[in-house]
Amino acid sequence: MTMRMQGATTDEIIEATGLSVENVRTILSRTRQLVKDFYNKINR
């Protein structure tokens, strides 16, 4: 996530972590959804 926020591509994350494309996308999806939910929660 930190790498992505710092501009790392999905391929770079895969290369750095050894995760598959699907797992990287799953992590990104979950993380972004959590951030979104948290943001909506604190701004209501």
Partner 1 sequence: MEYDKMKDKFFLGTSTREEEDELRRYLLSDSLSAEAQEEKELLLAMLQPGDYCCDEEIKEVAALIDRLAEDETATALHGSTARRIVLRYVVPAIAVAAALALMLMVVPYSGNSVKHGKESQIAVVAPVTEQKQNGSAVNREKPGESVLPKGVGKDSVAGNGVDISRDKSVDSYNRSSLLATSNEKKPATSPGSPVVLRSGALPPISESDKNESWVVITVSEPPNLTDDESLASVSQTGGVNEVHAEVSGERENVYIGSNSSFRLNGVRNDTITDPKDAIDHLDALFAIFTDATAVGVKEQEMHLKCFVVVDKETE
Indicate which single residue of 16, 17, 20, 29 sits in contact with partner 1 (rule: CB under 8 A): 29
| Residue 7 binds partner 1 (CB under 8 A) | yes
Q: Backbone dihedral region of 7: left (phi > 0), alpha (psi from -120 to 50 degrees) or beta?
A: left
| Residue 5 binds partner 1 (CB under 8 A) | yes
> Based on CB atoms, which residue is closest to partner 1, 18 or 41?
41
Task: Give pairs for 1-5: CB < 8 Å, separation 24+.
Answer: 1/27, 1/28, 1/31, 4/28
Using CB under 8 A as the criterion, which residues of the chain lie in contact with partner 1 when the complex forms?
A: 2, 5-10, 24-30, 32-33, 35-36, 39-40
